[in-house]
Amino acid sequence: EDGSAAIQVEKVLTGREWKAGDSFTFTITPVDGAPAPASNTVTISDETVNHSAIFDAITFDKVGTYQYTIQEVIPENVSNGITYDSNLITATVTVTDPGDGKLAAAVSYSNDKNAAIFTNNYQPEEVVVGGDGEDAVTGLEVQKTFVGRDWTDEDTFTFTLTAVTKDAPMPTSNTVTIGKPETGNANNAFFGEMTYSEVGEYVYTLTENKGSLGGVSYADDVVTVTVTVTDPGDGKLAAQVSYDNG
């Protein structure tokens, strides 16, 4: 009587938890004319028990050693933060005749495990705050309002950004200078870009440097700025900037 073998594939996802809609497809290819399963693909999703699946059973009618290659189908132009597994795993089916009227089939894998295991890692893209790129988040902003007299072309006010959170990303320069506005009595400036690669809350303080303009009182306020970096799970980190003075 013919024997049959079940070849198993397993998916491991690191870097984040599985979420609804996660789906990974694998193909099996017979080597040198080995018998083929009814379907050469299997899919593992977030709903698959133990994230493990078995290809359609393969039937064997003679003693021998048969090999199959298994690989993950890697999507084109993928941008979900997942690095797919490009390994090729070989499954070897050894068919023997134990003499009881039915052939026996044993499966082994080139990765020395009990299944063809493929590992994918999730690592979202970093997010830039204050950059010029299409996906950049609006940067840290300082506004200066000057009252009591009109601005002159020589009037400038400088502000300093200081990291409170250890190892918080910083712009190339931690100071910005604001000069005379085109109209009105207020002007603003942005600090340079800051790149974040980890989820978390990053706290900074903003202070005005004391200058030497005659008759001008400089602000003693210390404004706390918080950059909150989150991972929406779509392959790119997100950031939001908030100020404790609104």
pLDDT tens track for 158-207: 999 999 999 999 999 999 999 999 988 999 999 999 999 999 999 999 99
Measure the CA–CA gap between 137 and 201, rounded to whole angstroms. Answer: 15
Nearest by Cα to 36 from 63, 56, 64, 65: 56
Identify the H or E element spanning 38.
none
Q: Starting at the earlier edge strand, list the strands of the sheet with 8-14.
A: 52-54, 8-14, 116-122, 82-83
Measure the CA–CA gap between 203 and 226, rounded to whole angstroms. Answer: 5
User: What is the DSSP-derived secondary structure letter of residue 20?
Assistant: T
Mean pLDDT of the 142-159 span: 89
Measure the CA–CA gap between 117 and 5, rounded to whole angstroms. Answer: 18
Measure the CA–CA gap between 97 and 1, rounded to whole angstroms. Answer: 10
Least-confidence region, from 76-80, 82-86, 218-222: 76-80
Specify the higher pLDDT residue, 211 or 246.
Answer: 211
Nearest by Cα to 73 from 43, 47, 38: 43
Residues 6+ apart with CB under 8 A from 27: 40, 41, 70, 71, 73
What sign results for the dihedral spanned by CA atoms 142, 148, 150, 151? negative
Does pTM surpass 0.85? Answer: no
Which pair of tokens denotes residue 48? 């698959």
3-class state of residue 47 by DSSP: coil
Whole-angstrom CA distances from 155 to 45, 147, 160, 212 are 63, 12, 17, 10
pLDDT tens track for 170-183: 999 999 999 999 98
Cα atoms found within 13 Å of the Cα of residue 117, Cβ hemisphere only: 10
162 close to 202: Cβ distance less than 8 angstroms: no
Cα atoms found within 13 Å of the Cα of residue 204, Cβ hemisphere only: 28
